[in-house]
Amino acid sequence: MNRDEIKKLLPHREPMLLLDEVEIDAEGRSVARYTVRGDEFFLQGHFPGNPIVPGVIQCEMIAQAAVALLPDCAGKTPLYTGLNNVKFKNPLLPGDTAVMTVELTNRRGIFCFAKGRLEANGKLCTSAEFSFALLAKPQ
């Protein structure tokens, strides 16, 4: 999926759309990529002269990558309901291409449960387990 196809599923738009492409691998996991350009809003002031992608943004990238696993999310708003066992191992920097790998672990109605990881340059940056709800948009 390219950015235009991702926008058909995710309600996020620039500057909060944090995926460049998404595909499903042979194991049925979502594999997404985002190249950090260096001019993103979240790098302004984090940190001057030493920009590092904030951990909360990395968690958001992982969560957005779950979209390809949920074709029924089109027209709905995904909202975090939980974030567990988050680990930050290496920084994500401008020029890096973040590779997010996500798998669904369970689903109950509107509630989805997943685990994912974000790697760059062959190194683990962030891993997390998370849950979210797919809410219908108000009419």
Kindly report, residue by residue over 12-46, the tens digit of the pLDDT.
999 999 999 999 999 999 999 999 999 999 999 99
* 7, 33, 46, 76: the active-site residue: 46
pLDDT score at 67? 82
List the beta bridge partners of residue 85.
none
Distance in angstroms (rounded) separating the CA atoms of residues 113 and 84: 11
Contact 22, 36 (CB under 8 A): no
> Which residues does 29 contact at the CB level (< 8 Å), separation at least 6?
69, 101, 102, 103
pLDDT score at 137? 81
- Side-chain-side CA neighbours of 91 within 13 Å: the count stands at 11
Rg (Cα) of the chain, in Å, rounded? 14
Residue 50 pLDDT > 90: yes
Question: Does the annotation count 46 as an active-site position?
Answer: yes
The domain covering 3-136 belongs, at the CATH homologous superfamily level, to Hotdog Thioesterase (3.10.129.10)
Domain boundaries, the chain: 3-136
Residue 57 pLDDT > 80: yes
**pLDDT tens digits along 83-133:** 999 999 999 999 999 999 999 999 999 999 999 999 999 999 999 999 999
Residue 69: C-alpha distances to residues 107, 126, 127 (Å): 11, 20, 18
